[in-house]
Amino acid sequence: MKSFVDYSHDSDFSIHNIPFGVAVFNKEYIACATRIGDIVIDLASLHDFGYFENIKGLDENVFEAYTLNEFIELGKPITNDVRLKIQELLLEGSALANDEKTKEVCFFDLDKVQMMMPVHVPNYTDFYSSIQHATNVGMLFRDPANALLPNWKHLPVGYHGRASSIVVSGVDIQRPVGQIKPPTAEKPFFSPSLQLDFELEMGFVVNKNTELGEHIPMEETEDAIFGMMIFNDWSARDIQSWEYVPLGPFLGKNFGSNISPWIVTMEALNPFRTESPKQDPEVLDYLKFEGDKNYDINLEVYLKPENGKDNLISASNYKFMYWNMCQQLAHHTVNGCNVEVGDIYASGTISGEDPKSYGSMLELTWRGQNPIKLSNGEERKFVEDNDTITMKAWSEKDGIRVGFGEVTSKILPARKI
Amino acid sequence: MKSFVDYSHDSDFSIHNIPFGVAVFNKEYIACATRIGDIVIDLASLHDFGYFENIKGLDENVFEAYTLNEFIELGKPITNDVRLKIQELLLEGSALANDEKTKEVCFFDLDKVQMMMPVHVPNYTDFYSSIQHATNVGMLFRDPANALLPNWKHLPVGYHGRASSIVVSGVDIQRPVGQIKPPTAEKPFFSPSLQLDFELEMGFVVNKNTELGEHIPMEETEDAIFGMMIFNDWSARDIQSWEYVPLGPFLGKNFGSNISPWIVTMEALNPFRTESPKQDPEVLDYLKFEGDKNYDINLEVYLKPENGKDNLISASNYKFMYWNMCQQLAHHTVNGCNVEVGDIYASGTISGEDPKSYGSMLELTWRGQNPIKLSNGEERKFVEDNDTITMKAWSEKDGIRVGFGEVTSKILPARKI
């Protein structure tokens, strides 16, 4: 496939991708969008020009919206048709290729566009599905001899996170203040977090509303997953480790999470499916699956100090996940918990076996014991004020590249206390 | 104060109450509502008749809505004016008292009305703020010698719950299925929950949207709390105790919670303020407060077996709370976590010192060791299929009664597995 839009061979947004997002065009007009190379396309206007006329079920212009929820809710038969139609329109020699008027209205250079939150998120759940991450955290927070708790290999452990504080890439995050109690302190005290961390995660978005009491069995899970994004689950380790027993993470997490603005569809990621790790002990029937449910997605984390350059500090891969998305969704709903369009389900930190693939500062520096050296000579145990963390994700195979772009945000100093 | 509407002296919905809800009138028309005695009043139509004309900021008919969110978001100066106006209109000799036409359109007998969810709930948090409950659960789930964890008296422990599965009173709940692993079992197995439980809680609703990074200091918390409801946090103890380490409750809770349909305002509850328990050790500055922040609200739980009568199985009181609502909200936002209009913040199970005041079957039967005897001769360790649980809540002082009515729902058998 070759597009009439030129782009670099290492662009995440090749003709094979066709992701969906929501953009502010020229600082004044908001609509759903897609992207190819460095061109962002206003889908609402493209719809007005009649380019989606033959797609059944897309009579209404659902792209005239501040979120993708209405579009996503149409379900895979329609959203897939739309994606394939856009792909076809972007090929050399298509009707659109020579329609200068439409292109003038609908095509925007990146610098004329600001990306918004792609979805309204009714509910957010965070899983804990990387075995290396769970082992590392268990060693650091609890008992090195029994790092993995007894339930971990039987079910995809997860918890409800805070939907309100999920923001898009580019929204900077203020360092949280709160109660901390280092092991050496007799009493807790009030302080800005001294152990601010990122977590390298991927999230997926659900495309359906289920009724309370309904479940999504394993064989129907893939149909319910619209696509994925990069998810930076900012974490304050000192607040978290004091507060989290017995009910789980709370203020150590809910001060902000950033997501990448483009949702890449599962169809675009299909060529990058890969074998799932063997699960031993065998899982219960409702968690059994067939076929390749993991995805080979390269992940990178960069730390940029205030007066410095981007430092690559972690290189991981989504394929390391012990529990896959289908298992997460089947488990989440097995008890009748209802899901809603736009819900985000995040993976948990994705760490590989190689210490350079650990997905958090907590693990990379082993809670500060082994600081990371930066190119400007500074060291980092955790994230400092005005550091910018950027996460990238992409798949590549047989010369085809499909990626997520990046999620980036800076840590602002804590408010005065 | 005497109303022209007759009601029983033990009605929760006296002239002193004036709660807010959302109702389906005559099975066809939905609007915001209030209630006095057994009369439900359509506020949208009352607005159309011009009865709110003098209230600044209420030009738009926000009662023409499927939720109270738009009304609540107006903030206390306006919502209080509206409540006082309704109260005035319901007094003997008011303009409304003799306006037969308006009453004919706006006043409905209870049996012509079905109550809906009063708010759209963007986020839901559950606290754990009763010291007796936390102690009981600590003894049952963990270590009797160290039942209360080290953080418990320093901060109001809480966790994010599932907003999507909160439903109104009257919506029955299906017994969840899932993984359980009794201590005697070698491996987990798949089963309907064998330890289904209720939790007697109260929740409060927030009336403002804050920005990410903003906090609500103690002295501003009361202004941000619109009102309260009864909250039944259904819990599957066997699913919960297997899954909850280390990230907290998940499928053991998110299969359904029921709330009472009428939100009682903090202004209606003002006469029932009461002293707060002494907090020792002293709390950090951001959690310090002045004045009476607890409320004397009687709480009752009834269990009705399929072919039997209501059995009073618990009598508790909201005043037993160790941590108050203002502390919960100040703590929740101290790190910059943003809140949204309609958010529900629940108390956690409310247990007093007397074993008859315990707010869950787990505690009342001491995890099944001391079954409850019912009036029909049956016994209960936990909630059985087709049992109906009803919770009531009301305050009473100096002949004035303000109450919540009830939250009631039945446990339906699990789906076939």
A184-208: average pLDDT? 98
Please report the pLDDT score of residue B177 as a whole number: 98
B53-65: average pLDDT? 96
- Say which of B164, B188, B242 has its CB closest to residue A123: B164
Given CB atoms, is A155 within the 8 Å cutoff of chain B? Answer: yes
CA distance B335 to B331: 8
Q: B337 and A154 in contact by Cβ < 8 A?
A: no
Q: A160 and B162 in contact by Cβ < 8 A?
A: yes
Predicted confidence band of residue A191 (pLDDT cuts 50, 70, 90): very high
Yes or no: say if A176 and A161 are a contact pair by the CB < 8 Å rule.
no
B62-72: average pLDDT? 98
Mean pLDDT, all residues of chain A: 97
Please report the pLDDT score of residue B83 as a whole number: 98
Please report the pLDDT score of residue A271 as a whole number: 98
* DSSP codes, A311-355: EEEEEEEGGG-SS-HHHHHHHHHTT-----TT-EEE------SSG
CA distance A10 to A367: 35
Does residue A142 register a pLDDT over 90? Answer: no
Does residue B245 register a pLDDT over 90? Answer: yes
Does residue A339 register a pLDDT over 90? Answer: yes
Q: What is the pLDDT of residues B147-158, one digit of tens each?
A: 999 999 999 999
- Global ipTM: 0.97
The total of other beta-carbon atoms located within 10 Å of residue B101's CB is 8
* DSSP codes, B283-312: PPGGG---S--EE--EEEEEEE-TTS--EE
B18-47: average pLDDT? 98
- Say which of B212, B215, B243 has its CB closest to residue A165: B212
Q: From the options 2.30.40.10, 2.30.30.230, 3.30.300.30, 2.30.30.40, give the CATH code of A21-115.
A: 2.30.30.230
Please report the pLDDT score of residue A141 as a whole number: 85
Please report the pLDDT score of residue A26 as a whole number: 94
**Closest Cα in chain A, distance from residue B81 (Å):** 30
The architecture (CATH level 2) of B124-412 comes to Alpha-Beta Complex (3.90)
Does residue B141 register a pLDDT over 90? Answer: no
Whether residue B295 is annotated as binding a ligand: the answer is no
CA dist A160 → A250, A346, B41, B122 (Å):
9, 10, 37, 13
Please report the pLDDT score of residue B174 as a whole number: 98
Residue in A247, A259, A328 to test binding to B, most B beta-carbons within 10 Å: A247
Please report the pLDDT score of residue A93 as a whole number: 97
List the 183-242 stretch of B: residues with Cβ below 8 A of A.
187-190, 212-213, 215, 236, 239, 242
Does residue B20 register a pLDDT over 90? Answer: yes
Given CB atoms, is A285 within the 8 Å cutoff of chain B? Answer: yes
Q: What is the pLDDT of residues A44-54, one digit of tens each?
A: 999 999 999 99
CA distance A206 to A323: 17
Q: What is the pLDDT of residues B215-239, one digit of tens each?
A: 999 999 999 999 999 999 999 999 9
Sequence spans of domains, chain A: 21-115, 124-412
Whether residue B34 is annotated as binding a ligand: the answer is no
Does residue B98 register a pLDDT over 90? Answer: yes
**Distinct helix (H) and strand (E) counts, chain A:** 10, 26
Q: Which residues of A are the active-site residues?
A: 133
Q: What is the pLDDT of residues B355-380, one digit of tens each?
A: 999 999 999 999 999 999 999 999 99
Please report the pLDDT score of residue B142 as a whole number: 85
Does residue B194 register a pLDDT over 90? Answer: yes
Does residue A76 register a pLDDT over 90? Answer: yes
Find how far residue A191's CA is from the centre of its chain.
30
Given CB atoms, is A386 within the 8 Å cutoff of chain B? Answer: no
Q: A158 and B247 in contact by Cβ < 8 A?
A: yes
Predicted confidence band of residue B264 (pLDDT cuts 50, 70, 90): very high
Predicted confidence band of residue B117 (pLDDT cuts 50, 70, 90): very high
Q: Where are the beta strands (DSSP E) in A44-187?
A: 107-109, 113-115, 124-127, 158-160, 166-168, 173-174, 177-180
A200-225: average pLDDT? 98
Mean pLDDT, all residues of chain B: 97
Q: How far apart are the first and last CA of chain B?
A: 57
